[in-house]
Amino acid sequence: MEHDASDHEEPTRRDYMKYGGAVIGGGLLAGCAGNADSGSTATETSTGTTTESETATDTGTATSMPERYSAELSPVGTVTLEEPPTNVFTHFPWFPDMASALGQGDTVNYLWWDGTVAGLEYFTAGFDEFEIEWADNAGEYGFTKEQLYELDSDLHFVDPAWVTTLDNWDQGDVDEIATNVGPWLGNYYSSYHAAPPEAWADGYEYYPLWELFDRVATLYGERQRYEALAAVHDDLLGAIEDRLPPESDRPTVAYLSVSEDLSAIYQLRLNEPGYWNSHTRPLGAVDSFGDTQFSGPFKQIDMEALVEADPDVILGLWTVTGTFDFDALTQNLKDDPLGQAVSAVQNGRVYPQGTRWQGPLMNLFQLEMTAKQLYPEQFGAWPDETGDSYPAFGPDEQLFDHERVADIVNGDI
């Protein structure tokens, strides 16, 4: 893609906001208008930090500099801002979820896949005064340099390694946007521990979902909200672990993406590392397909393969909202000559799921949802009837305090 960078050299607010840079691939992304004075210091850590630094004046005394917000993430390196971003570009849905969780949803100017909106609306229906400010900002898969120049974002929550796999993007384009518009921060290949592009493979690291959320919270200056939500998440994981039945008593599970008419069935990973399994992996159920290996995010299978696997439970991805007719799916399974032979169908244990593209808010609810679906005796049963919003479980039925999470998101920490 040809683009004349000289058309965009006029400084913006970001030229004065950014401090420091990010090492991407083999090149340095100059993420600021100029270097700091030699007497100043910037704090960079392996996770993230909000810090106030000092600089020496001509009289030799130390004066306070503005707070800086630093986060380090592979493959970018360290990104440091002098103030939290107010205009951010996202693509994959876990970042808008993170922004909303931090009370910063109004900063998101773009995302791909409007299904994220429906999913988050479903799970947060019980939250008072909660608004998805980025609901009207969904676009198409992929993007261009021209779009990023036009949006003029303070920060791009996208993995630059993944960006170079798009048509008409290369390392030079990535560097150009970081220099002229705003830095990148993202780690797409942690989603299912896939191999990054060869040029980025050396030193590429993988992170759990909540560690990525940690970095995002730091750059937004929302450490209190993050730590409060992380405490809820830690308690939820602890409660689940304490009550899990022995492995010998756990169900076999088929985690699938399946069309309502059964014309397309895809096998998904259940217990593998990555963001996409952060709501199924902690539950330790048995994958009905065993240790079958496949490349890519999913594997297409047929009904014969599902019958052979014969799962006790079927989890159907992307079926939880009104955009999918879950009742039609379950009825078609009952009517299908092969489908009706599957144990999960016979026992009425076919359940809806949300999305693998989850941020922290959807992750909390999906952990609770899936625990109830897999282990009703330990965690309470998931309702038989489908609805347009997440069930209104009473306080004694909740595996985490829903109202507490809503309060944190609304700033009552």
Number of domains in the chain: 2
Per-residue confidence band for 312, with pLDDT thresholds at 50, 70 and 90? very high
For the segment 317-346, what is each residue's pLDDT rounded down to a tens digit?
999 988 899 999 999 999 999 999 999 999
> Do the domain assignments include residue 213?
yes
On whether both 393 and 374 belong to a single domain, the answer is: yes
Q: Strand 111-112 and strand 138-139: pairing?
A: parallel
What's the domain range around 163?
5-91+142-221
On whether both 209 and 321 belong to a single domain, the answer is: no
Residue range 365-374: average pLDDT? 98
Residue range 126-139: average pLDDT? 94
> Do the domain assignments include residue 127?
no
On whether both 148 and 13 belong to a single domain, the answer is: yes
Residue 194's pLDDT is 96
Residue 36's pLDDT is 31
Residue 347's pLDDT is 97
* Cβ-contact 283, 374 below 8 angstroms: yes
User: In terms of pLDDT, which residue wins out, 305 or 24?
Assistant: 305
Cross-strand partners of 64: 54
Residue range 107-125: average pLDDT? 93
Per-residue confidence band for 116, with pLDDT thresholds at 50, 70 and 90? confident
On whether both 12 and 62 belong to a single domain, the answer is: yes
Residue range 244-266: average pLDDT? 97
Residue 125's pLDDT is 95
> Do the domain assignments include residue 330?
yes
For the segment 22-32, what is each residue's pLDDT rounded down to a tens digit?
444 333 232 23
Residue where a domain stops, chosen among 157, 191, 221: 221
On whether both 309 and 200 belong to a single domain, the answer is: no
| Distance of alpha carbon 366 from alpha carbon 299, whole angstroms | 23
How many other CB atoms are found less than 10 A from the CB of residue 410?
Answer: 14
Residue where a domain stops, chosen among 197, 221, 245: 221
On whether both 254 and 208 belong to a single domain, the answer is: no
Residue where a domain stops, chosen among 182, 204, 221: 221
For the segment 47-86, what is each residue's pLDDT rounded down to a tens digit?
555 444 443 434 444 444 456 899 999 999 999 999 999 9
* Cβ-contact 258, 264 below 8 angstroms: yes
- In terms of C-beta distances under 8 Å and separation of at least 24 residues, what long-range contacts does 302-310 make, across chains too? 302/265, 303/262, 303/265, 303/336, 303/338, 303/339, 304/338, 305/267, 306/254, 306/256, 306/265, 306/338, 306/339, 306/342, 307/338, 307/339, 307/341, 307/342, 309/252, 309/254, 310/252, 310/341, 310/342, 310/343
| Distance of alpha carbon 34 from alpha carbon 300, whole angstroms | 51
On whether both 386 and 237 belong to a single domain, the answer is: yes
Q: Is the pLDDT of residue 378 over 60?
A: yes
Residue range 187-210: average pLDDT? 97
Residue 322's pLDDT is 85
On whether both 253 and 208 belong to a single domain, the answer is: no
On whether both 68 and 216 belong to a single domain, the answer is: yes
On whether both 270 and 163 belong to a single domain, the answer is: no
> Do the domain assignments include residue 290?
yes
* Cβ-contact 313, 255 below 8 angstroms: no
> Do the domain assignments include residue 111?
no
On whether both 217 and 236 belong to a single domain, the answer is: no
> Do the domain assignments include residue 107?
no
> Do the domain assignments include residue 121?
no
> Do the domain assignments include residue 295?
yes
* Cβ-contact 70, 45 below 8 angstroms: yes
On whether both 256 and 394 belong to a single domain, the answer is: yes
Residue range 308-320: average pLDDT? 97
